[in-house]
Structure 1
Amino acid sequence: MFIPLHDAVELKYIRVQYVTISIIALNFVAWLFTTIATPEAVEHASLGLGFIPAVIFNCAVLDPSLTIVPDDATFITYAFLHFDFWHLASNMLFLWVFGDNVEDALGHIRFLIFYLLCAAAGALLHGLVAPSAEGPLIGASGAISGVVAAYFLLHPRVRVWVLVLFRIPLPLPAFIPLALWIVQQFVMLALDLDGFVSWGAHVGGILAGAILVLFMRRKGVPLFDRNIVTPKAVRRNPAASQAEPVAE
């Protein structure tokens, strides 16, 4: 529906979004590792680190030779694997645009906990929707959905540059594209339970992010920030607007 490009919300409490940058770097390292590995190693990583509902809910047993981490750990590890570069890039772009301000509002440690809890919530709802599914769930979408939900509650009036329909760049108030995106996840969960995309993971992350930000944000950080921040590229110069026209 849209691709986020840039927002203009300055960091107020932290100097650098260390956790956001570290998560992005870790995801890229994991992708590079699985990309250069053999096909068998890639499949092993997906099965050993991905979230498999049938295994979690005791509907199936994973071959011990494929086990890499305890089953419960896959509630987290799945969120650091991706199918291909575009799957990775789209998730990390969302995290880059929206993650820094959520990290700023929560603080470094609480943001890391928040991110991991949203990932776990996404996996949980995915599993509850299809408890007998044997295919591994991978990707950061559940955690990213939580970040988007938190940003929506924190900065709905900020104007964000987005690429609409993958070709039209527009500066829109954040609540417009984010609200549409959030509604889309719930609609698709209802209509497309067996689709390639795990809408359940998205919705699980959204619900967790919306709830957690209420309690985990710094003291004094407001919800629904009333300050309208416009990207520099679309700001007007008041002095220039009053000046006489200049012929070219």
Structure 2
Amino acid sequence: MLPIRDDTPSRTFPLVTFLLILANGLVWLWELSLGGGAALNHFYYQFGFVPGVLTGTYQAPSWAIAPYFLTTLTSMFIHGSWGHILGNMLFLWIFGNNIEDHLGHSKYLLFYLASGVVAALVQLLSGPTSEVPTIGASGAIAAVMGAYFFLYPKAKVQTLVFFIFIAIVRLPAWIFLGIWFVMQLFEGTFGAAQGVAVWAHVGGFLFGVVIAWISSRRGRTRTEYEV
């Protein structure tokens, strides 16, 4: 399933979401300029997040950024293919504008960055000795999706469905995002998605739900107090 758009307009221009997409795009262009091979691999190990390094299983490459924990942030802006970055940015644009609208620009940026770190650490728990660089924005975007799942469950998501035939259907957000989340759980539990950090997706999504719940509770309490 591939989302095309939702029916929930935002009240403000999603500046942070736009800038995040721009930043990811610029980093991707830099990756393309490296031409692949050793140079690109060097880049992945310099800015990608390797769980085994953080847990002390392996020594960080001499050219890796320091302190190494910063790679939980830098890795969020690195992608491995056209499909990887285009898919991530599509999801971010569709679901990010409403979460930015709800939280406000500054809090949304903090939420997004914190979500990426949390997702990376959850992925570390699932494979603490891994020496493969974890890259991509999908952990942070999963948190955005989790927040959307909680805050806008009845919103309609126009979805391109590939199942025997190709069709465009309108699904309630809770169904679309719920199916997506269950698929991540399935793939993580049974190892059905090799080379994909699905536990980062799961961790990010749940973190997004929790933050959305907390923010909605605070907003309700503030309103009741002001009344």
TM over 0.5: yes
Q: Deviations over 1:34-69 (max 9, x none)?
A: 1111433311211011110110000000221x2134
The 1:71–1:103 alpha-carbon spacing in structure 2 relative to 1, beyond 3 Å, is: same
In structure 2, the residue matched to 1:202 is 201
Does the Cα contact within 8 Å between 1:105 and 1:221 map onto a contact in 2? no
- For 1:1-52, what per-residue CA distance to the aligned partner results, in whole angstroms no more than 9, with x for missing partners? x11101121223xx21000000000000000001111433311211011110
- The residue aligned with 1:233 is none
Aligned partner of 2:142 in structure 1 is: 145
Asked if 1:73 is matched to 2:47, the reply is no
**Structure 2 CA distance for aligned equivalents of residues 169 and 194 of structure 1:** 25
RMSD: 1.8
Aligned to 2:225: none
Aligned residue number for residue 62 of structure 1: 60
Larger Rg belongs to: 1
| TM-fit CA distance, 1:75 | 1.1
User: 1:213 — aligned with what?
Assistant: 212
Within 1, Cα distance between the matches of 2:174 and 2:42?
A: 40
Unmatched tracts of structure 1, length 5 or more: 223-248
Q: Name the CA distance, whole Å, in 2 between partners of 1:101 and 1:4.
A: 15
Instruction: Show the counterpart of 2:5.
Output: 6
Higher share of residues assigned helix? 2
Matches within 5 A, 1:1-248: 2-12=1-11, 15-39=12-36, 40-64=38-62, 66-165=63-162, 167-192=166-191, 195-216=194-215, 220=219
What's the secondary structure of 1:162's corresponding residue?
Answer: strand
SS, match of residue 8 in structure 2? coil
Q: Is 1:106–1:217's contact at 8 Å kept on the other side of the alignment?
A: no
Deviations 1:169-225 (A, max 9, x none): 111111111111111111211111882111111111112111112224595479xxx
State the alpha-carbon separation in 1 of the partners of residues 64 and 53 from structure 2: 11
Q: From the superposition, tell whether residues 52 and 88 of structure 1 become closer, same or farther in structure 2 (CA, over 3 Å).
A: same
Aligned length: 218
Q: Is the 8 A contact 1:105 1:218 kept in 2?
A: no
CA contact under 8 A between 1:117 and 1:208: conserved in structure 2?
no
Supply the AA of the counterpart residue of 1:63. Answer: P
1:142–1:205: 8 Å Cα contact kept in structure 2? yes
| Structure 1 CA distance for aligned equivalents of residues 19 and 32 of structure 2 | 20
**Structure 2 gap ranges (5+):** 222-227
